[in-house]
Every structure is written in structure tokens, then in C-alpha cells.
């Protein structure tokens, strides 16, 4: 029996999440997609991918069983979860059918979104509400802490740690054993050779810290 599910966030990534649900259902019909919640669009607005059912209070008042946070910003995902968790929603992880899940020792927490073409290897830990976007590769013993976001075509070598809420821009490469601290950002295309402290931004090849 399909479970009712809605997406919080009807922007570009929210609509990509709706596509992810469709692609999962094409392989195994798991989800009954009811629509979106979004605070920036009028209630009952009709999008190509579904109905906007309202905003935050409407989500709390709904009888939806499962909710997915279709928002790329990890800090926003955290804020929403903290406000919604008491309602009793289930927050399933959505994993595209094409994902290479790697070793049985890998662990993926709740509320994660794992997009098409991702490759996991072995002994990987993905904490709650992590986003791993299209065509990312993740090496052995990597730890992605809660609310981290990894954008398309990134490559994480073995023993990399991303702190809570870290953001890795499109096409970035993180070399072996590097730690990117909580809340830190790595720019698109960067090659990270050294640890990135918490709440800083690193850009370039090789990556250098430009703000703190």
C-alpha cells in the first residue's frame, strides 16, 4: 500500500524531489504524492508537479503520513525539522533507484535525499537530513554529518568528514582525510587539500579560506 507523502519546498530542488518520487514509483510504487507545502506560494496554487497545500501551519494541520524536506539549504532543513518533529511525521530517506549503495555496512539516516547516479563505496555513515545530489562519488569511511549538502558531481575521497550543515558546491573535490567543519562552505569546482574550519568558506584550486 502506498504511503501518503508531501514535499516541503516547491522551488527548483523541491520539484526535483517530486521527480525523484516519480522515478522511485516507476520501479516500485511506494508513495502517494499529495503535493507541496511552501511558505512563499499561495495556498492551492497548481504547479506542473502538484498542488501547493499551504505553508507551515497547514503542514502541522495536515494528516499527511510522511514528509520530505525538499530544500537544498541545510540550515533551513534543520529549522523546519525542529518545528515539525513534534507532529509525528515520518521523514523517510529517498534514494534514487540508480544509486550504487555500496557495502552493507553503509548507514543512511532519516530524511536523506540521495539523487541519481550517486556511488557509495564502503563503511560510509550518512547522518539525518543529508542531501547528496546528482552523480556524487563517496569513498570509504566517509562521515556526512546531519544537514550536510553535497551538490552535483562532487567527489569525496576516503576518510573525509563533513560537519553538520556543511555545504559542498558543484564539482568540488575533497581529498583523502580532510575534515570540512560544521557550517563551512566549499565553492563550486574547488579542490580541497587541507581541513576547512567550521563556519568558513573555501574556494579555488587549491582551495583557500576567504571568509570566517
Catalytic residues: 140
Beta strands 201-203; 185-186: pairing state: parallel
Cβ-based neighbours of 25, under 8 Å, separated by 6 or more: 31
Handedness of CA 39, 40, 42, 45 (dihedral sign): negative
Name the nearest CA neighbour of 2 among 31, 26, 28.
31
Residue 68 to residue 77: CA distance in whole angstroms: 10
The radius of gyration of the chain from alpha carbons, rounded to an integer in Å, stands at 17
The three three-digit cell numbers of residue 30, written as one number: 511506494
* Widest distance between CA atoms in the chain: 51
Amino acid at each position: 500500500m502506498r504511503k501518503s507523502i508531501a514535499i516541503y519546498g516547491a522551488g527548483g530542488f523541491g520539484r526535483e524531489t517530486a521527480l525523484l518520487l516519480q522515478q522511485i514509483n516507476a520501479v516500485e510504487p511506494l508513495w502517494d504524492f499529495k503535493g507541496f507545502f511552501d511558505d512563499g506560494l499561495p495556498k492551492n496554487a497548481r504547479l506542473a508537479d502538484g498542488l501547493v497545500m499551504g505553508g507551515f501551519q497547514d503542514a502541522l494541520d495536515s494528516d499527511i503520513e510522511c514528509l520530505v524536506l525538499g530544500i537544498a539549504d541545510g540550515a533551513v532543513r534543520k529549522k523546519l525539522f525542529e518545528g515539525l518533529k513534534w507532529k509525528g511525521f515520518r521523514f523517510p530517506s529517498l534514494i534514487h533507484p540508480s544509486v550504487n549503495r555500496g557495502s552493507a555496512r553503509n548507514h543512511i539516516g532519516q530524511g536523506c535525499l540521495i539523487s541519481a547516479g550517486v556511488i557509495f563505496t564502503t563503511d560510509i555513515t550518512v547522518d539525518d537530513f543529508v542531501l547528496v545530489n546528482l552523480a556524487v562519488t563517496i569513498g570509504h569511511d566517509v562521515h556526512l554529518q546531519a544537514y550536510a549538502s553535497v551538490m552535483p558531481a562532487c567527489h569525496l575521497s576516503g576518510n573525509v568528514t563533513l560537519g553538520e550543515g556543511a555545504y559542498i558546491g558543484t564539482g568540488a573535490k575533497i581529498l583523502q582525510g580532510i575534515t570540512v567543519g560544521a557550517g563551512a562552505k566549499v565553492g563550486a569546482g574547488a579542490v580541497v587539500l587541507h581541513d576547512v574550519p567550521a563556519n568558513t568558506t573555501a574556494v579555488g584550486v587549491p582551495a583557500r579560506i576567504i571568509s570566517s
